[in-house]
Amino acid sequence: MPLMRSWVASANDAGCDFPLNNLPYGVFSTDPQDARCGVAIGDQVLDLAAVEAAGLIALSDAPVFDLPYWNDVMDLGPEAWAALRALLKDMLKEASPDQAQLAPFLVPLSEVRLHLPFVVSEFTDFYASRHHATNVGTMFRGAENALPPNWLHMPIGYNGRASTVVISGTQVRRPCGQIKPPEADAPRFAPTEKLDIELELGAVVGVSSPMGTRLSVAEAEAMIFGYVLLNDWSARDIQAWEYQPLGPFQAKAFATSISPWIVTAEALAPFRAAAPDPDVPLLPHLQAPGPLLYDIDLSVLMAPEGGAAEVIARTNYAELTYGAAQQLAHHATSGCAMNAGDLLGSGTISGAAPDARGSLLELTWNGTEPLTLKDGTERRFVEDGDMLTLTGHAAGDGYRVGFGACAGQILPALEP
Ligand code: CA
């Protein structure tokens, strides 16, 4: 698919994250009391609350954009989502007769504050990258027990915390917790010394399913509203002590950062990619009816406090084994109710190459092979003051569908 040209000139630049092909959804404010829905186009955000108030868009009898979340639009369902996109593309395309009416509702991105784009109903995190699962399993349990036997048959996950999902730019405090190195006789309570990131994509569920209902993978795919970048901050020393037998708890409960713009499944459709064939055939209820992944280039950047950001890892969403639709279908196999606003973390995305690993745990091999930054300092894990940024985009012919950035800076721990 070629670039779709817009009368918003900056949207036609080849390096722009937000061309007309993308139209990602966010929540913005110019006055903190008045956060509302908008769509990014070029270096602008179109104020959809104002467009709706002017009578140029009417998705529902009640206003759905003069709200600080997209959940009410999700509730209208996939037909309304498609109608909204068709209308926005028509109004924002080059030579659209709507230009004169819409132009006053554009606000420069440089002048807005961005907020969480939806109310996160619940957060579930998965473990869908074979390279990541193998690397972590090797470090935590040894090479012979690296990949758990269930991993080949289903997308492994755990229920995380929606309460600490935060928008890009939010500072994250280094957590304290119980730490017990293997050589110690007893645990101590202390700030984590192994603060880490996890490079993930988050799928936003847009349609609810009632308790007692199972979902096919195809049904699940149609329920996905869009995707955000997701950094599942982790404390590896706390995790290593607490995770058996019920999985991660405080090691991952302190913060999860997401990017401000929901990139829709429709915008990503031209970039579909298939997962590798599974080692063993999946049971019928998890088999993919078609390609479920997308070709999305992903990067991790690190900047020491006051220093320049540099890329420390680069990988691709298509490295995963399970897609979000399989994860959502698996989530509902028992009859678990799913809700619009549920956030499903893909799991850390790692490729085969050493610099394609989506966590510092893997990049530095649990701190034994430190990275050297351009300022000469070494990193085994994240230090206080460091800024970690995830970026991602799918590359089209002369344009890109970008996610923007998912950034967070680490504050020192409170007194233990
Ligand atoms: Ca994770």
Residue where a domain stops, chosen among 92, 115, 138: 115
Asked if 213 and 188 sit in the same domain, the reply is yes
Please enumerate, as own/partner, the contacts of 277-286 that have beta carbons within 8 Å and a separation of 24 or more. Answer: 278/152, 278/321, 279/152, 280/152, 280/153, 282/153, 283/153, 285/214, 285/216, 285/217, 285/329, 285/333, 286/153, 286/154, 286/155, 286/217, 286/322, 286/326, 286/329, 286/330
Q: From ligand 1's centre to the CA of 397, what distance in Å?
A: 32
**Catalytic residue of the set 115, 131, 132, 331:** 132
Residues 331, 157: contact at Cβ < 8 Å? yes
In one-letter notation, the amino acid at residue 168 is S
Q: What is the band of 314 on the pLDDT scale with cuts at 50, 70, 90?
A: very high
**DSSP assignment letter at 151:** G
- Is the pLDDT assigned to residue 80 strictly greater than 90? yes
Assess if residue 205 is contained within a domain: yes
* Coil, strand or helix at 243: coil
Asked if 211 and 64 sit in the same domain, the reply is no
Asked if 217 and 365 sit in the same domain, the reply is yes
* Token pair belonging to 393: 């985009």
pLDDT at residue 279, as a whole number: 85
Assess if residue 161 is contained within a domain: yes
Asked if 77 and 221 sit in the same domain, the reply is no
Task: Give 213-222 pLDDT, tens digit per residue.
Answer: 999 999 999 9
Asked if 97 and 156 sit in the same domain, the reply is no
Asked if 71 and 152 sit in the same domain, the reply is no
Q: From ligand 1's centre to the CA of 112, what distance in Å?
A: 30
Q: From ligand 1's centre to the CA of 362, what distance in Å?
A: 13
pLDDT at residue 278, as a whole number: 85
Assess if residue 67 is contained within a domain: yes
Which H/E stretch holds residue 394? strand 387-395
Q: What is the band of 32 on the pLDDT scale with cuts at 50, 70, 90?
A: confident
* Token pair belonging to 167: 């928008």
Q: Is pTM beyond 0.95 here?
A: yes
Average pLDDT, the chain: 97
Q: From ligand 1's centre to the CA of 339, what distance in Å?
A: 20
Q: From ligand 1's centre to the CA of 64, what distance in Å?
A: 32
pLDDT at residue 33, as a whole number: 84
**DSSP assignment letter at 376:** S
Q: What is the band of 140 on the pLDDT scale with cuts at 50, 70, 90?
A: confident
Asked if 241 and 283 sit in the same domain, the reply is yes
Task: Give 201-213 pLDDT, tens digit per residue.
Answer: 999 999 999 999 9
Q: What CATH code is carried by the domain that includes residue 353?
A: 3.90.850.10
Q: Averaged over 25-31, what is the pLDDT?
A: 96
Assess if residue 1 is contained within a domain: no
Q: From ligand 1's centre to the CA of 253, what distance in Å?
A: 11
Q: Averaged over 367-375, what is the pLDDT?
A: 97
Q: From ligand 1's centre to the CA of 201, what distance in Å?
A: 10
pLDDT at residue 45, as a whole number: 98
Q: Averaged over 125-134, what is the pLDDT?
A: 95
Q: Name every residue whose Cβ is closer than 8 Å to that of residue 198 and which is 6 or more positions away in sequence.
A: 231, 232, 233, 234, 345, 347, 348, 358, 359
Assess if residue 78 is contained within a domain: yes
Q: Averaged over 247-270, what is the pLDDT?
A: 97
Q: Averaged over 15-31, what is the pLDDT?
A: 97
Q: What is d(CA 345, CA 286) in angstroms, rounded to the nearest whole number?
A: 18
Q: What is the band of 351 on the pLDDT scale with cuts at 50, 70, 90?
A: very high
Asked if 192 and 274 sit in the same domain, the reply is yes
Residue where a domain stops, chosen among 115, 142, 172: 115
Q: From ligand 1's centre to the CA of 305, what distance in Å?
A: 25
Instruction: Give Cα separations from 183 to 24, 74, 186, 244 (angstroms).
Output: 49, 51, 9, 18
Print the domain residue range for 199.
Answer: 123-411
pLDDT at residue 90, as a whole number: 98
pLDDT at residue 270, as a whole number: 97
Asked if 106 and 146 sit in the same domain, the reply is no
Assess if residue 283 is contained within a domain: yes
pLDDT at residue 178, as a whole number: 98
* Token pair belonging to 119: 């109310």
Q: Is 153 a catalytic residue?
A: no
Task: Give 329-348 pLDDT, tens digit per residue.
Answer: 999 999 999 999 999 999 99
Asked if 286 and 225 sit in the same domain, the reply is yes
Q: From ligand 1's centre to the CA of 230, what distance in Å?
A: 9
- Is the pLDDT assigned to residue 229 strictly greater than 80? yes
User: Considering its fold, how many domains does the chain have in total?
Assistant: 2
Q: What is d(CA 394, CA 250) in angstroms, rounded to the nearest whole number?
A: 34
Assess if residue 2 is contained within a domain: no
DSSP string, 40-94: EETTEEEEHHHHHHTTS--SSSS-SSSSSSSHHHHTT-HHHHHHHHHHHHHHHBT
Q: Name every residue whose Cβ is closer than 8 Å to that of residue 375 and which is 6 or more positions away in sequence.
A: 304, 307
Q: From ligand 1's centre to the CA of 197, what distance in Å?
A: 9
Q: From ligand 1's centre to the CA of 233, what distance in Å?
A: 8
> Residue written as tokens 């090479």?
143
Assess if residue 169 is contained within a domain: yes
Q: What CATH code is carried by the domain that includes residue 70?
A: 2.30.30.230
Residues 407, 257: contact at Cβ < 8 Å? yes
Asked if 127 and 111 sit in the same domain, the reply is no
Q: From ligand 1's centre to the CA of 158, what distance in Å?
A: 9
Please enumerate, as own/partner, the contacts of 404-407 that have beta carbons within 8 Å and a separation of 24 or more. Answer: 404/17, 404/18, 404/24, 404/40, 404/168, 404/229, 404/259, 404/260, 404/261, 405/168, 405/229, 405/259, 406/168, 406/228, 406/229, 406/230, 406/231, 406/257, 406/258, 406/259, 407/168, 407/169, 407/257
Percent of the chain at pLDDT > 70 equals: 100
Residue where a domain stops, chosen among 85, 115, 145: 115
Q: Name every residue whose Cβ is closer than 8 Å to that of residue 317 and which is 6 or more positions away in sequence.
A: 201, 273, 293, 294, 295, 296, 298, 346, 349, 392
Q: From ligand 1's centre to the CA of 102, what distance in Å?
A: 41
Asked if 42 and 155 sit in the same domain, the reply is no
> Residue written as tokens 């690397």?
135
